[in-house]
Amino acid sequence: MKPISLMRSVVTVGGWTLLSRGVGFARDMMIAAYLGAGPVADAFNVAFSLPNMFRRFFAEGAFNMAFVPMFAKKLEGGEDAQRFAEDAFTGMAALLFVFSILGTLAMPWLVWAMASGFAGDARFDLAVTYGEIGFNYILFISLVALLSGVLNAHGRFTEAGFVPVLLNLIFIAAMMLAAWAGWDMGLTLAWCVPVTGVVQLAFTWISAWRIGFRLHLRLPRLTPDLRRLAAIAAPAVLAGGVVQVNLLVGRQVASYTEGAVTWLVLADRLYQLPLGVVGIAIGTVLLPDLSRRLRAGDATGGRASFNRGTEFGLFLTLPAAVALVVIALPLTQVLYQRGAFGAADTAATALALAIYGAGLPAFVLHKVLQPLFYAREDSRSPFRYAVISMVVNAGLALGLMPVLGFAAAAWATTISGWIMVAQLWWGSRRIGPEAQLDDRLRQRLPRILVACAVMAVVLWFGARLLAEALVSPGWRYGALALLVGAGMVSYFGTAMALGAFRLSDLRGMRRRG
């Protein structure tokens, strides 16, 4: 795979992620309008975060980091990749079937561990009920993650990229139906969780079948390959657990302020848009690409892929981070402030968004740097780095809580994210030539930073000129579009003038594609 086709794959994954996050915004705007930031919204957000937390722990954040390189290398080497994937599928299904039952039975303890501040009020009982309904989502979505890894290793990024869109479409349709029929909105959202899991699993199963991956279910068995997979995945599972502990600490801090869980969730949704479109897309494509190159002994190609992935990620992420910090309040006002979601909720969400925005480049760089380790089946180093970041996160969140309140959770996430980047970067220097920065990236990065500074000035003055229009019901969407458009023109215009980006880059991608 040439570096330029790597960029095309990133654009494909990023495009589908952009669509998913766009539909997800519509979903979140509807939830905010129907539920505001009250007890039902807090309870649902905590309950929905439980299966998603364990999903990232078992599947996306750990298992796939070990599974995808092994599966891709078996494909490249002509080995029996399908049998390996079937064994992994049945083993994961058996493990998570038991885990989903245990988690459902232990739901009151899980809710307390996630949000002890709910104890003694209505949010606790609601979160337990919603969690018992939807916890089995972990079974379905983890199997979806494995099948998506199979599709990605075959270069089929479109099918895997469409999966998250299904979740958001089902949620939107269900809320519209509940509003029309007068159903309880909280229970409707809770029942959507397992329904979407079944639909997503069916879609990825059929997609894998269409590319010739005929999945035959059998009794689980512990093969030598699965033992090796488990040995590689174990540190990654622990590293994923560290990340989830960070989230757990944040939820605990937020649970002691009514509405804070929802504020943090909605801010998280906004900064996850560029993170998903750029960072997750690059990480999804870069891991199998580096794995194939390492097997082929192509160190030069691996270095080119890493540098172009880093350049592409920073070129799009740095301006997004600046925008999230500079115009956090207008973004939150226009997208969320309506119905039960008031001005105080907007101000709190905007504060969290600006803090998260400062950490956005760090979270994207995680996705770029981690494949350098996982492609070599080194999951121990990221685990050690994650433990250090976890300690920093917990110390900051709990230590700053008496001073900053719920915002301490956001600051802890951002600062510990940058500490994780520093560790990954330092560790990557010893693993091979692929991690070295090339001359093109060194020359373009300062120019990207100057273009970001110009855009920040434009956004700051633009937000003040459009202040009245941004809060006017009839003009706010147009005003926000004008503000964002002005920022984009100033950034891309300055970047092109300085040579941080050239039209020939796009033409080259199109020709090679």
| Per-residue pLDDT at 1 | 40
Q: Is the pLDDT of residue 149 over 80?
A: no
More confident residue, 361 or 248: 361
Q: Is the pLDDT of residue 225 over 90?
A: no
Contact 18, 277 (CB under 8 A): yes
Q: Is the pLDDT of residue 506 over 70?
A: no
- Give the domain ranges of the chain: 3-437, 450-513
Average pLDDT of span 296-315: 75
More confident residue, 172 or 274: 172
| Per-residue pLDDT at 61 | 52
Buried b (16+ CB within 10 A) or exposed e, 113-127: ebbebbeeeebbebb
Average pLDDT of span 162-170: 85
Range of weakest confidence among 317-321, 367-371, 462-466, 491-495: 367-371
| Per-residue pLDDT at 277 | 65
Phi-psi domain of 216 (left: phi exceeds 0; alpha: psi -120 through 50; beta: other): beta
| Per-residue pLDDT at 180 | 92
What does the mean pLDDT of the chain come to? 81
More confident residue, 121 or 357: 357
> What does the block give as tokens for 148?
């998506």
More confident residue, 230 or 329: 329
Report the percent of the chain where pLDDT is more than 70: 81
Buried b (16+ CB within 10 A) or exposed e, 461-488: ebbeebeebbeeeeebeebbebbbebbe
Would you tell me the crossing angle of helices 3-35 and 299-326 to the nearest 10 degrees?
30
Q: Where are the alpha helices (DSSP H) in 256-379?
A: 260-274, 281-296, 299-326, 328-336, 343-374
**Cα 258 from Cα 37, distance rounded (Å):** 8
Range of weakest confidence among 18-27, 59-68, 386-395, 451-460: 59-68
Q: Is the pLDDT of residue 419 over 80?
A: yes
**Cα 214 from Cα 419, distance rounded (Å):** 43
**Cα 299 from Cα 379, distance rounded (Å):** 20
More confident residue, 500 or 99: 99
**Confidence (pTM):** 0.68
Q: Is the pLDDT of residue 440 over 70?
A: yes
Q: Is the pLDDT of residue 137 over 60?
A: yes
Query: Judging by beta carbons within 10 Å of its beta carbon (0-12, 13-18, 19+), is residue 184 exposed, middle or buried?
Result: exposed
Contacts for 340 with CB less than 8 Å, ≥ 6 apart: 32, 33, 34, 35, 36, 37, 38
Q: Assign 509 a pLDDT band (cuts: 50, 70, 90).
A: very low
More confident residue, 402 or 71: 402
Q: Is the pLDDT of residue 65 over 70?
A: no
| Per-residue pLDDT at 508 | 46
Q: Assign 313 a pLDDT band (cuts: 50, 70, 90).
A: confident
Range of weakest confidence among 206-210, 356-360, 371-375, 472-476: 371-375
Per residue, the 3-state secondary structure of 440-459, as one string, reads: HHHHHHHHHHHHHHHHHHHH
| Per-residue pLDDT at 511 | 42
Q: Assign 106 a pLDDT band (cuts: 50, 70, 90).
A: very high
| Per-residue pLDDT at 382 | 81
Average pLDDT of span 171-197: 93
Q: Assign 177 a pLDDT band (cuts: 50, 70, 90).
A: very high
Please give the biggest Cα pair distance in the chain: 66
Q: Is the pLDDT of residue 162 over 60?
A: yes
3-state secondary structure of 399: helix
> Rg (Cα) of the chain, in Å, rounded?
22
More confident residue, 163 or 355: 355
How wide is the angle at C-alpha 16 spanned by C-alphas 13 and 22, nearest 5°? 135
Contact 302, 293 (CB under 8 A): yes
**Cα 74 from Cα 383, distance rounded (Å):** 25
